[in-house]
């Protein structure tokens, strides 16, 4: 079964001379199309996707699964290939807080549009904090989403980064954000606006005839000088593999686990409300609506998600397996982190996804029933140590 996603097959090396990128992309497209028609998705996909989108908008979590309901392995027929959007100035939005690191000498000027407990946003924050970067945060109202109305992307995270020309380039997709900023940090001579062009948004039609989107090269770092990455090719490949695993596998285990029962779903939404400060940002009736309606809806939807991802009723066993698999990978290396003595992008991706459920019973159960704890808290310590001051 041809199951790889376009972004994950992008190229064969991380060091891609600029002139070769377009060629590689053509090759990738050919490879992608050469995979032929993949098995059709069940017809319930569309209905589930629509419901998921609506509830996701309402409750503010917008779990990742829905993006995959709209596309994925069965997609074919490239339609468009669009570079990143560039804004002349920042949109008129309310910055809710800033993370300011006096040691940040990157020269970057970043604004993150996010939902606090979205696993993709957690991934991006883990990366930005671990990298010691300063950034501003716009907490997007998950119901009205007026703060991302200026954008063609309806999902968070979105990161706006100031380019050398003084304009702001829009980075969408958590993995693309991490790859493009990480590429920049390895070679600060590059312009973030130019780098972003190596991660075009592509759209194509899936078997159901629906237009779907993905980001090309999203797990690949782009830089000119080999010396800025002294890791072996295998190490780089491993990092990409596990970053993709976090997006394509781990993230799908979150909803079925944190909304497993009505009580757990309520508890989860109460936690979302606490960490997202919904009590401060929304009137009480709206907060309560989000918590009660959201919890009930997600409890129902998580059952369908469970079936879609072919999970057994014992959903905990799947997340325990995932934690075990990840930890055994690190144990094989006999290092503290997947990246060795320092977390790499795979550590930060897995940490970010798990971090999105840290306040939930599911996470407590993972701590009790797997060996994820020491690694998780070791990454957390590094992330918090490098993070700037939250103002």
Ligand X SMILES: N[C@@H](CCC(=O)N[C@@H](CS)C(=O)NCC(=O)O)C(=O)O
3-class DSSP state for residue 261?
A: coil
How far apart are the C-alpha atoms of 10 and 30, rounded to whole Å? 11
Q: Residues touching ligand X: how many (CB under 6 A)?
A: 19
- What tokens were used for 154? 């309806």
Interface region with ligand X, contact rule CB under 6 A, candidates 87-95, 115-123, 226-234, 304-312: 115-123
Interface region with ligand X, contact rule CB under 6 A, candidates 57-65, 192-200, 260-268, 306-314: 57-65
Residue 61 CB partners (closer than 8 Å, separation 6+)? 115, 117, 118, 142, 272, 294, 298
How far apart are the C-alpha atoms of 379 and 350, rounded to whole Å? 10
User: Which of 271, 235, 244, 282 shows the shortest CA–CA distance to 355?
Assistant: 271
How far apart are the C-alpha atoms of 306 and 4, rounded to whole Å? 21
3-class DSSP state for residue 25?
A: helix
Instruction: By CB under 6 A, name the one of 101, 174, 206, 236 that touches ligand X.
Output: 174
User: Looking at beta carbons, which residue is closest to ligand X?
Assistant: 62
Determine if 55 is a binding residue for ligand X (CB under 6 A).
no
Instruction: By CB under 6 A, name the one of 62, 193, 276, 339 that touches ligand X.
Output: 62
Determine if 211 is a binding residue for ligand X (CB under 6 A).
no
- What tokens were used for 218? 């999203």
| Minimum CB distance to ligand X, residue 231 (Å) | 24
Interface region with ligand X, contact rule CB under 6 A, candidates 15-23, 59-67, 129-137, 378-386: 59-67
**C-alpha separations of 114 from 62, 88, 140 in Å:** 11, 21, 6
Determine if 173 is a binding residue for ligand X (CB under 6 A).
yes
Interface region with ligand X, contact rule CB under 6 A, candidates 2-10, 62-70, 252-260, 284-292: 62-70
Determine if 120 is a binding residue for ligand X (CB under 6 A).
yes
| Minimum CB distance to ligand X, residue 285 (Å) | 23
Site string for ligand X, 130-159 (x = CB under 6 A): ------------------------xxxx--
Determine if 276 is a binding residue for ligand X (CB under 6 A).
no
Residue with smaller CB distance to ligand X, 120 or 375? 120
Determine if 69 is a binding residue for ligand X (CB under 6 A).
no
Determine if 53 is a binding residue for ligand X (CB under 6 A).
yes
Instruction: By CB under 6 A, name the one of 14, 45, 67, 183 that touches ligand X.
Output: 67
Residue with smaller CB distance to ligand X, 201 or 370? 201
Determine if 66 is a binding residue for ligand X (CB under 6 A).
yes
How far apart are the C-alpha atoms of 24 and 34, rounded to whole Å? 15
Determine if 200 is a binding residue for ligand X (CB under 6 A).
no
Phi and psi of 116, rounded to 5°? -60, -40
| Minimum CB distance to ligand X, residue 120 (Å) | 4
| Minimum CB distance to ligand X, residue 70 (Å) | 9
Q: Sort strands 97-100 and 135-139 into parallel, antiparallel or unpaired.
A: antiparallel
Residue with smaller CB distance to ligand X, 72 or 132? 72
315: left (phi over 0), alpha (psi -120 to 50) or beta: alpha
User: Which of 194, 94, 209 shows the shortest CA–CA distance to 147?
Assistant: 94
How far apart are the C-alpha atoms of 16 and 119, rounded to whole Å? 29
Determine if 64 is a binding residue for ligand X (CB under 6 A).
yes
Edge to edge, the sheet with strand 110-114 lists 86-87, 168-172, 158-162, 110-114, 135-139, 97-100, 389-390
Interface region with ligand X, contact rule CB under 6 A, candidates 105-113, 170-178, 292-300, 330-338: 170-178
Q: Which residues bind ligand X (CB under 6 A)?
A: 53, 56-57, 61-64, 66-67, 115, 118, 120, 154-157, 173-175
């Amino acid at each position: 079964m041809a199951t790889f996603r376009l972004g994950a097959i992008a190229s064969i090396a991380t060091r891609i001379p600029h002139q070769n990128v377009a060629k590689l992309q053509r090759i990738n497209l050919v490879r992608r199309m050469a995979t032929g028609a993949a098995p059709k998705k069940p017809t319930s996909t569309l209905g589930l996707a629509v419901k998921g989108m609506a509830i996701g908008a309402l409750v503010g979590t917008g779990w990742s699964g829905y993006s995959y309901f709209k596309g994925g392995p069965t997609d074919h027929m490239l339609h468009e290939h669009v570079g990143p959007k560039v804004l002349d100035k920042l949109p008129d939005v309310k910055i809710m807080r800033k993370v300011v690191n006096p040691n940040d000498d990157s020269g970057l000027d970043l604004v993150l549009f996010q939902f606090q407990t979205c696993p993709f946003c957690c991934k991006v924050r883990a990366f930005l904090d671990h990298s010691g970067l300063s950034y501003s945060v716009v907490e997007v109202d998950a119901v009205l989403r007026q703060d991302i109305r200026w954008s063609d992307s309806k999902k968070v995270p979105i990161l706006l980064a100031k380019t050398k020309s003084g304009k702001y380039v829009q980075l969408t997709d958590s993995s693309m954000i991490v790859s493009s900023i990480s590429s920049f940090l390895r070679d600060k001579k590059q312009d973030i606006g130019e780098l972003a062009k190596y991660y075009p948004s592509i759209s194509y039609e899936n078997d159901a005839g629906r237009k779907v989107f993905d980001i090309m090269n999203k797990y690949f770092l782009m830089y000119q000088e080999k010396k800025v990455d002294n890791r072996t090719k295998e190490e780089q490949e491993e990092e990409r593999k596990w970053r993709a695993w976090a997006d394509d596998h781990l993230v799908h285990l979150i909803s079925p686990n944190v909304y497993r029962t009505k009580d757990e779903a309520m508890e989860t939404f109460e936690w979302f409300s606490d960490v997202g400060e919904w009590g401060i940002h929304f009137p009480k009736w709206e907060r309560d609506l989000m918590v009660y309606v959201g919890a009930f809806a997600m409890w129902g939807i998580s059952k369908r998600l469970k079936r879609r991802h072919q999970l057994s009723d014992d959903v905990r066993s799947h997340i325990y397996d995932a934690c075990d698999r990840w930890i055994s990978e690190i144990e094989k290396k006999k290092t503290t982190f997947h990246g060795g003595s320092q977390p790499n992008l795979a550590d930060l991706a897995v940490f970010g996804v798990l971090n999105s459920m840290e306040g939930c019973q599911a996470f407590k159960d993972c701590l009790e029933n797997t060996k994820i704890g020491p690694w998780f808290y070791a990454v957390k310590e590094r992330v918090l140590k490098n993070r700037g001051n939250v103002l």
